[in-house]
Amino acid sequence: MNEKEFDLGIVKRFFEHDYHDRGLMKWQGFYLSDHTAALNQQKIQDKQQYPPKPQQSLSIVGQILSTAYTQNQPVNLQLNTVDHNNQHFATITTPILGYNATTIVLANHQFININDIQHIELVRSTNWTGNQ
């Protein structure tokens, strides 16, 4: 069919009179049980609230980072960032791979600005596996 034979009126009539969109019904079959389980788990995690820990000074953060790095000891980090409900995210438990005056490097090679740290503490647990 070339442009001269194409009739936009036929297309318009088809969508106005013949085609019936079922909306979201056609997408419901794509959710598998593991998808819905993951969505339900995400809803539960979203409802959990993590109260803010006290804001620490940069000197205290630096001292704890130094100890964690030199002793190869993991830390618990709470960042200043909040979600859309103004709630803090879960505490991050990780070893410190390195740091300088402005940035720390976490075990997953993620970089975090030191000014974004709300609270940091050493993990004193003797059963740290590094898989958390």
Distant-in-sequence, close-in-space partners of 64: CB < 8 Å, separation ≥ 6:
56, 75, 120, 121, 122
pLDDT exceeds cutoff 80 at 4: no
Whether 67 and 117 map to the same domain: the answer is yes
Residue 127 lies in a domain: no
Which residue, 101, 96, 119, 128, is CA-closest to 50? 119
Q: What is the pLDDT of residues 43-73, one digit of tens each?
A: 776 666 788 899 999 999 999 999 999 999 9
Comparison of pLDDT for 108 and 30, the residue scoring more: 108
pTM of the model: 0.57
Distant-in-sequence, close-in-space partners of 78: CB < 8 Å, separation ≥ 6:
50, 52, 53, 88, 89, 91, 92, 117, 118, 119, 120
Whether 68 and 34 map to the same domain: the answer is no
Whether 64 and 39 map to the same domain: the answer is no
Whether 15 and 42 map to the same domain: the answer is yes
Domains of the chain: total? 2
Q: Which CATH number fits the domain that encloses residue 114?
A: 2.30.30
pLDDT at res. 124: 80
